Amino acid sequence: MTADAQHPPAGANSASTRTLLRVVILCLIAAAAIASRLFSVIRFESIIHEFDPWFNFRATKYLVANGFYKFWDWFDDRTWHPLGRVTGGTLYPGLMVTSGVIYHALQALTVPVDIRNICVLLAPAFSGLTAYAAYLLTNEMTTSPSAGLLAAVFMGIAPGYISRSVAGSYDNEAIAIFLLVFTFYLWIKALKLGSMLWGALCALFYGYMVASWGGYAFITCLLPLHAFVLICMGRYSTRLYVSYTTWYALGTLASMQIPFLVGFIQYVRSAVSGRQFQTFLATAVVGTFGIGLIGLVTLTSLGYIAPWGGRFYSLWDTNYAKIHIPIIASVSEHQPPAWPAFFFDLNMLIWLFPAGIYLCYQDLRDEHVFIIVYGLFGSYFAGVMVRLMLTLTPIVCVASAIAVSHLLDTYMSTKSPNPDEVQRAAEATAKKVAKSTGLRGSEKPTVGIFSLIPKTGVVASLTVYLLMFVSHCTWVTSNAYSSPSVVLSSRLPDGSQHIIDDYREAYQWLRQNTKEDAKIMSWWDYGYQIGGMADRPTLVDNNTWNNTHIATVGKAMSSREEVSYPIMRQHEVDYILVVFGGLLGYSGDDINKFLWMVRIAEGIWPDEVKERDFFTPRGEYRVDGEATDTMKNSLMYKMSYYNYHAMFPAGQAADRVRGVRLPDQGPVLNTIEEAFTSENWIIRIYKVKDLDNVGRDHAAATAFERGQKKKKATKKRGARVLRVE
Amino acid sequence: AANWDQVLQNIYQYYMKETPQRTKLIDAFLFFLAVVGALQFLYCILAGNYPFNAFLSGFCATVGQFVLTVSLRIQTTEANKSDFPAVSPERAFADFVVCSLILHFFCVNFIN
């Protein structure tokens, strides 16, 4: 693709032909970016995938149905049941507003498209824009004609970005990465031109980004850091001052001492003579930095400036979350990635990335410093947390595009340099190096390739790599990142596809067979999906803003029935939903997540829930006959395995996930009754019983109904206490 | 001590002699903005910050306007001509107007 761009046919090498080629190539890239994200829509259907997008989808539907002002003041009483959630103030509205605007624009153009389809296809559409933004950003970095196009291709199909932007993943990242790259482009542009207008545009897009994704903190850290590094390198310029302060004043309106100070000092330098300037500089710099530092430390320790949130803090102290906040550590995205993840997500870009960074050192202009700073930051954070691979991907694409285009520019020029001239030029540089005292790395020697064999060899191998990159990306996207978690698919022996649709079966049952306001208790993972698909109020959901409430659910799930029942009564729970994969071998079920429930509950009630009690004396986590009593009596265990043994002939009951044989005697439920179990037993829904009519406790009532009364009525009176009332 | 006197005096003389009239006008405006900002801050310290949004938007308006005016001053100064090959003084003024409008829109929106 890019090879064509470099060498238009002879005679047609005019400016207009190049522009045409560029436009065509960019259009093709956008088409490829969109097309490679449609695997899941074509294979399954056009639905919203994971957990979080279901809430975004629900909020978007509310926005479209009720208008913007109502959306802004939306108090949602169907989540976090007794508490509710002030939704308008606790979400990033950028995504919903964007798709709402698109919806209304299409309506105005008399193209009535369902809001669901807009939500599903928003991420692919924006990925095309991201590719274009990467093109613009890279063109600011280098003069090479191919670098921008290469970066656009990489950005368009790199799996690290596709993983968060396939059709149907209607998440904040869908538009945030475009905004991230475009904000950086505007920043570089503002910095180069020193123009207020570009700085203001940068601030506006930054504001849009703030409204869209929590990752805006990345920009907030990165741009000041870039400015700071530039100042430390002695590259302060008035352009930097203008662009940075404009961005900051419009973007955040807060302290901006550092550029202020430096600007002032520069002014003074032009005013006074050298020696006086030295003393002045030393006093001013030391004084201001000292005051600033002391002020920051005292304010933080006095509590005026909030210390970092736990999520950010866990980026620095990587063990922090595991010890103090189990709910952060319990999310699989917050784990550090292994090496293969980098190769898997970025393929050959990961080894071109350091080369690109190195090339940035060669002519170190202001914008190259930005690439280096971003590269360092991005790689560190991606090394700490899997999901931050997403913010690393743009810079990897840009840097490796610079590296590849550098190679192509060197090896693909058809004219060989004249040996004599090269000799002379080399001597000249040698002399210059001897004379000048600059960095040796910043001196560029004249290079030239003389014979045709290395040229064709290098270009051919690069082409092979590029082709392999494309096929790798397609393969990864198709196999790893295009499966909706709502629908599970498996292959039958004859190769045909078998769809397991238990989730929607169960949610649909809830939607049609329960009261409009029946409260559903489940672990928080399924909160958004229940709200979105079953349209029923939930106790907790994926927005984990209230840890205690989640711990309450965790306690109800991990305690004995006698303890859980009052908790559920107090929270007006009507149904409980558990996910059980034992029959099918679906490993993401609630028994495997159970220990996290225990840990989170233990954080709040260390006396009542103890993680140790769920392990056998030898420290094993077992669910079979050897399981501990606490485990066997916990509500979660009972709900998962209730009646399960009846599916199998005697002695054959087996759990396919844990790979163990279960005892023949299943658990007995007293306070709840089975309401629904899906086809493959993945979702089990239980109804919470009402209080007993004659005032017995539930255990006695069910025992009586099973006929477990004693044969001979005992005459003896039991130990009774005095009736008080 | 004598050294410091000299430094400050030098700066003052240099400023009076070398600065064109238009830039001095801008500087007067900057001085006014700084005074307004300081007064607001003083009032906030004395009277408490109860409508915090109002304080922030008022204070940020002065700070932001100050910063934008400094940018205008930098871009219109003759000595910085080489730094901004693409920005003519008229362009700088137009940018200044646009940015100020955006800033004031934000502040009016924020003050409720």
pLDDT in tens, A87-102: 877 788 889 999 999 9
Asked if B14 lies within 8 A of A197 by C-beta distance, the reply is no
Inform me whether the pLDDT recorded for A16 exceeds 60.
yes
Contact A600, A550 (CB under 8 A): yes
What percent of chain A stands above pLDDT 70?
A: 80
Cα separations in angstroms, A264 against A204, A261, A270, A469, A562: 27, 5, 10, 50, 71
Asked if A382 and A392 count as a contact pair (C-beta separation under 8 A), the reply is yes
Stretch among A152-156, A426-430, A504-508, B40-44 having the lowest mean pLDDT: A426-430
For residue A576, what are the domain limits?
A: 501-706
CB contact under 8 A, A195 and B6: no
A211 to chain B nearest CA, in Å?
14
Closest CB from A200, A239, A272 relative to B84: A239
Q: Does residue A513 share a domain with residue A367?
A: no
Residues of A in contact with B99 (CB under 8 A): 196-197, 199-200, 246, 250
Say yes or no: A90 and A237 in one domain.
yes
> Tokens 């410091």 map to which residue?
B4
How many folded domains does chain A comprise?
Answer: 2
Q: How confident is the model at residue A134 (pLDDT cuts 50, 70, 90)?
A: very high
pLDDT tens for A343-364 read 988 888 999 999 999 988 888 8
Question: pLDDT at position B18, please?
Answer: 80
Residue of B7, B87, B94 lying closest to A280 (CB–CB): B7
B60 pLDDT higher than 60: yes
- Round to whole Å and give the CA distance between B107 and B54: 9
Q: What is the mean pLDDT of residues A511-518?
A: 92
Bridge partners of residue A521, in order along the sequence: A576
Instruction: Judge whether residue A588 has pLDDT over 70.
Output: yes
Which two tokens mark A82? 């007794």
Select from A238, A246, A263 the Cβ nearest to the Cβ of B68.
A246
Q: Are A400 and A509 in the same domain?
A: no
In a domain, A616, yes or no: yes
Report the pLDDT value the prediction gives residue A449, as an integer from 0 to 100.
65
Largest CA distance in chain A: 120
Cα distances (Å, whole numbers) of residue A660 to A160, A259, A517, A586, A652: 37, 65, 39, 14, 10
Q: Give me the interface pTM, i.e. the ipTM.
A: 0.87
Write out the residues of chain B at the interface with chain A, using a CB-CB cutoff of 8 A.
3, 6-7, 10-11, 14-15, 56, 60, 63-64, 67-68, 70-72, 74-75, 79-80, 83-84, 86-87, 91-92, 94-96, 98-99, 102-103, 106
Q: Which residues of chain A neighbour B92 with C-beta distances below 8 Å?
A: 196
Residue from B27, B37, B89, B70 nearest A243 by CA? B70
Chain A residue numbers touching B3 (CB-CB < 8 A): 276, 279
Instruction: Please check whether residue A1 lies inside any domain of the structure.
Output: no
- Residues A218-246 have a mean pLDDT of 82
CB contact under 8 A, B98 and A200: yes
The verdict on a CB contact (< 8 Å) between B11 and A276 is no
Q: Which residues of A163-175 are buried (b: 16+ CB within 10 A; e: fewer)?
A: bbbbbbbbbbbbb
The H or E element spanning position A290 is helix A274-302
- Whether A467 maps to a domain, the answer reads no
Structure-token pair, residue A287? 């004084």
Same domain, A400 and A522: no
Task: Judge whether A151 and A134 are in contact, CB under 8 Å.
Answer: yes
Q: In this structure, is residue A224 part of a structural domain?
A: yes
Q: Is residue A157 part of a domain?
A: yes
Structure confidence by residue, pLDDT tens digits, A416-465: 666 676 666 666 666 655 555 555 555 555 556 667 788 888 889 999 99
Identify whether A106 is part of a domain: yes
Task: Look at A271 and B10 and tell me if their CB atoms are within 8 Å.
Answer: yes
Note whether residue A597 is domain-resident. Answer: yes
- What would the DSSP string read from start to end of A680-697? TSSEEEEEEPPPPTT---
Q: Does residue A324 belong to any structural domain of this protein?
A: no
What's the pLDDT at A26? 93
**Side chain identity, residue A342:** F
- Strand A488-491 to A497-500 pairing: antiparallel
| Chain B residues with CB-CB distance to A196 below 8 A | 68, 71-72, 75, 92, 95-96, 98-99
Could you read off the pLDDT of A479-496 as tens digits, one per residue?
A: 888 887 788 877 777 777
Please indicate whether, in this complex, the C-beta atoms of A245 and B102 are within 8 angstroms of each other: no
A239 contact residues in B (CB cutoff 8 A)? 83-84
Q: Chain B interface, mutation test: which of A72, A205, A238, A278, most B Cβ atoms within 10 Å?
A: A238
How far is Cα A376 from Cα A391, in angstroms, rounded to an integer? 12
pLDDT, tens digit, 9 for 90 and up, residues A707-720: 766 555 556 677 77
Cα–Cα distances in Å, from A425 out to A362, A428, A544?
Answer: 18, 5, 65
Mean pLDDT of chain B: 85
Task: Give the number of residues written for chain B.
Answer: 112
Q: What angle do CA A311, A314, A320 make, to 5 degrees?
A: 120
Average pLDDT estimate for A217-225: 83
Please tell me whether residues A112 and A242 are part of one structural domain: yes
The answer to whether the Cβ–Cβ distance between B75 and A279 falls below 8 Å is no
| A660-661 vs A654-655, strand pairing mode | antiparallel
DSSP label at A708?
-
Q: How far is A200 from chain B (nearest CA, A)?
A: 6
User: What CATH number corresponds to the domain at position A548?
Assistant: 3.40.50.12610
Place of tokens 């006197």: B5
| Whether pLDDT at A532 is above 60 | yes
Q: Write a three-state SS string for A21-52.
A: HHHHHHHHHHHHHHHCCCHHHHHCCCCCCCCH
Q: Which residues of B touch A271 (CB under 8 A)?
A: 10-11, 14-15
List b or e across A61-80, with b for residues whose CB sees 16 or more CB atoms inside 10 angstroms.
bbbbeeeeeebeebebebbb
Q: Of A390, A407, A424, which residue is a domain's last? A: A407
Spell out the alpha helix ranges (H) of A211-273: 216-232, 238-251, 257-271
Same domain, A73 and A207: yes
A273-306 confidence digits (pLDDT tens): 455 555 656 666 666 666 666 766 666 565 555 5
Q: Contacts of residue B11 in chain A, CB cutoff 8 Å? A: 268, 271-272
Question: Domain check: are A205 and A350 in the same one?
Answer: yes
